[in-house]
Amino acid sequence: MSEKILIFDTTLRDAEQTPGAALNGNEKLAIAKHLSALNVDVIEAGFPRSSPADFEAVSRIASEVEGPEICALSRIIEKDITDAWEAIRDAKRPRIHTFVGTSEIHIKGIMRSDEDTILKSSIESVAYARDLCPTVEFSPMDAARTDPVYLFEIIEATIEAGASIINIPDTVGYAIPSEFGKLIASIKQNVSNIDQVIISVHCHNDLGLAVANSIAAIKNGARQVECTVNGLGERAGNTSMEEIVMAIRTRRDHFADVHTDVDTTEIIPISRLVSRTMGMPVAANKAIVGANAFAHSSGIHQDGVIKQRDTFEIINPTVVGLQESQIILSPRSGRNALRHRLAVLGYDVETEQLDSVYERFLSLADKKKEVHDADLEAIMQDESKTVLVSENRYQFDHIQVFSGNQITSTATVGITTEGGAVTEAATGDGPVDATYKAISRVTGFSPTLSDYQIRSVTEGMDAIGEVTVKVKEQGRSFVGHGASTDIIEASAKAYINAINKVIHFRENG
């Protein structure tokens, strides 16, 4: 009989620690809802003790997201565990994940403690967590570099104390598949009560081996994999959710005894959502979700794929939710056609919102004549900012730019503020610089621009351009997006979006 591999998604916890990828509560909630549609088994929503904002985000996810188990991280400290529990207690199926470093370098070098003390606090902490929450996961951090005898001892003791999932992290991404597989096998052999729990793994990708190590662990009895969308995470990242899921699915011959319950058609949509929201672009050659993952450029390959898809393609792109961009709507398409297509793409649009989306759709359809799915997604991403950050202080209204290679660029930008419409003009080095200076005049904010990216969401000269900016304000990064067929307008919207986030963060943490 095929056994299920639990997919434990830690995009909102481990990947969120990526420098510059921090999310606000609304963004976390939107991603969590999509993870539920993807049908992952567990969502690690955050580390409540780390900040009041994270506590708040985890509680919202716990009370609003249905389906997966909702997990919160804590150190083996009573206050951490209490906070983790308080944040997830409204979840239908809550889980506390508590961890401590168990390698010599962590115990002596970082915590200045000793093995006996760490063992004792681990037991007490797991027991305390278990008193609060029915499901407790314990991680001996840096397990791959921990003395095996001590590792077996602490695992046995924490199972005894009530842990039902034991997670083995390769925290520094140092393990090699054969070695990591052996570690899991040796835990199965040497821990007397291991059959009472699920063995989990959490591999980092410093040597590019996170997925390979997780697969070796599955082969040796692990039944939960911790992973992230697009493989994001600290340093070189974590095990990539889409790669592990598709490896298991594509090589059924090799994985006859296991499966996952992930709805693979949601892979591309969530990959895009996470990439956009975190401002972390996906490399074109990234397996499964990269822009070129299903592109065939050599003539021989193209010919082969047209005649028979599986000659050079091991995965049918529709399985991961990739639809060939098709002409779907025109200026004559009505509201119902639009609403229907949006529903197919996974957007439930309320009547009031439909009016505004329809207006934007019509003005785009007038310019482009053909509107593709990707265009609609760009519109919805742009729209969702208004819905997500309801406290939007500034709304883009209009723009006029004079620019050329022999004149100084001038931009006039109109913005709706709480006090009404405000228009300001500024000159600058190029149209984007002039636009950003005009926006700064209206808002009084001029955060440093640390990254600016532009991409077209569909093919053609009249395609929608999507601009993603990263700005720095007091050492923190904020991501802003804007979409339009006019790239200067898209640039203005992206910068205003980022400024709204700066304000939102200052006021709400």
Interaction site with Zn ion (CB under 5 A)? 14
Question: Cα separations (Å) of 452 from 139, 230, 374, 448?
Answer: 38, 21, 21, 11
Chain position whose Cβ is nearest to Zn ion = 14
* Nearest distance in Å: CB 80, Zn ion: 17
**Quick one: 99 or 436, whose CB is closer to Zn ion?**
99
**Quick one: 97 or 372, whose CB is closer to Zn ion?**
97
Find, among 30, 113, 128, 126, the residue nearest to 347 by Cα. 30
In angstroms, rounded to a whole number, what is the distance separating the alpha carbons of residues 209 and 223? 18
Q: Which residues pair with 471 in a beta bridge?
A: 449, 478
* Nearest distance in Å: CB 233, Zn ion: 6
Contact by Cβ (8 Å): 477, 19: yes
* Nearest distance in Å: CB 448, Zn ion: 29
* Nearest distance in Å: CB 178, Zn ion: 22
DSSP-based three-state secondary structure for 307: helix
**Quick one: 236 or 389, whose CB is closer to Zn ion?**
236
**Quick one: 28 or 437, whose CB is closer to Zn ion?**
28
* Nearest distance in Å: CB 202, Zn ion: 6
* Nearest distance in Å: CB 75, Zn ion: 14
**Quick one: 232 or 246, whose CB is closer to Zn ion?**
232
Place of tokens 């699915």: 249
Question: Cα separations (Å) of 382 from 21, 233, 483, 496?
Answer: 19, 26, 6, 12
**Quick one: 14 or 142, whose CB is closer to Zn ion?**
14
**Quick one: 184 or 342, whose CB is closer to Zn ion?**
184
Contact by Cβ (8 Å): 46, 70: no
**Quick one: 16 or 375, whose CB is closer to Zn ion?**
16
What does the DSSP assignment read for 370-388?
-B-HHHHHHHHHHHHHHHH
Contact by Cβ (8 Å): 319, 265: yes
* Nearest distance in Å: CB 68, Zn ion: 19
* Nearest distance in Å: CB 241, Zn ion: 14
Long-range contacts of 450-456 (CB under 8 A, 24+ apart): 450/20, 450/477, 451/20, 451/279, 452/491, 453/281, 454/487, 454/490, 454/491
β pairing state of 136-141 and 94-101: parallel
